[in-house]
Amino acid sequence: MNLWLLDASILLASEDPDDQHHGDSRRLLEGSDPLATLDLVFYEVTNVAVRSWHDHSAARRLRNRVTAVADDGGLVRADAPLLESAAGIADENGISVYDAAYVAAARALHSQLVSCDVRDLVSRGLALLPGDTVTRLSNREDGIPG
């Protein structure tokens, strides 16, 4: 049983059929592994849905999805210790404190961060793509270790 920590891109990809990670993100959200996220995600998904998509229905659905994830594996609070950790991760990896906060949240829960952000997170080994988690889940159900 893996605990996955989701960043905003996973929730947004699940709501956008045009995104290349849409299908994998939906499979992750509808899968059996426990999921958690960071409180920052409420702001980030609403920001994109309202300011870029101009889609208030999507914004409402996204907030409900975040709540459903929070009721499952939890909603990590971006407090002073987490931001202290995020600042170190941001410095070390040359990424924004926003992205680093998700990495810090995943580490705080001893979980794995999942993101569609290849440039700053996946390429640095700080996160997995949703497709990678779905593959691991399928392998586990088929009895393949990994």
- What residue ranges bind other proteins (CB under 8 A)? 1, 7-9, 12-22, 26, 29-35, 44, 47-48, 51-53, 55, 57-58, 60-61, 64-65, 68-69, 71-73, 96, 98, 115-119
Judged by beta carbon, residue 13 or residue 82, the one nearer other proteins is 13
Run of H or E including 93: helix 80-93
Residue 137 beta carbon to other proteins: minimum distance, rounded to whole angstroms: 12
Alpha-carbon distance of 24 to 111, in angstroms, equals 19
Note the residue count of the chain: 146
Judged by beta carbon, residue 119 or residue 146, the one nearer other proteins is 119
Q: What is 66-77 written as a DSSP string?
A: HHHHHHHT-EE-
Name the CA radius of gyration of the chain, rounded: 15
Residue 94 beta carbon to other proteins: minimum distance, rounded to whole angstroms: 14
Residue 69 beta carbon to other proteins: minimum distance, rounded to whole angstroms: 6
Judged by beta carbon, residue 60 or residue 77, the one nearer other proteins is 60
Is the Cβ–Cβ distance between 95 and 117 less than 8 Å?
A: no
Within 10 A of 66 (CB to CB), how many other CB atoms are there? 22
Residue 87 beta carbon to other proteins: minimum distance, rounded to whole angstroms: 15
Q: What is the largest CA-CA distance in the chain?
A: 44
Judged by beta carbon, residue 22 or residue 107, the one nearer other proteins is 22
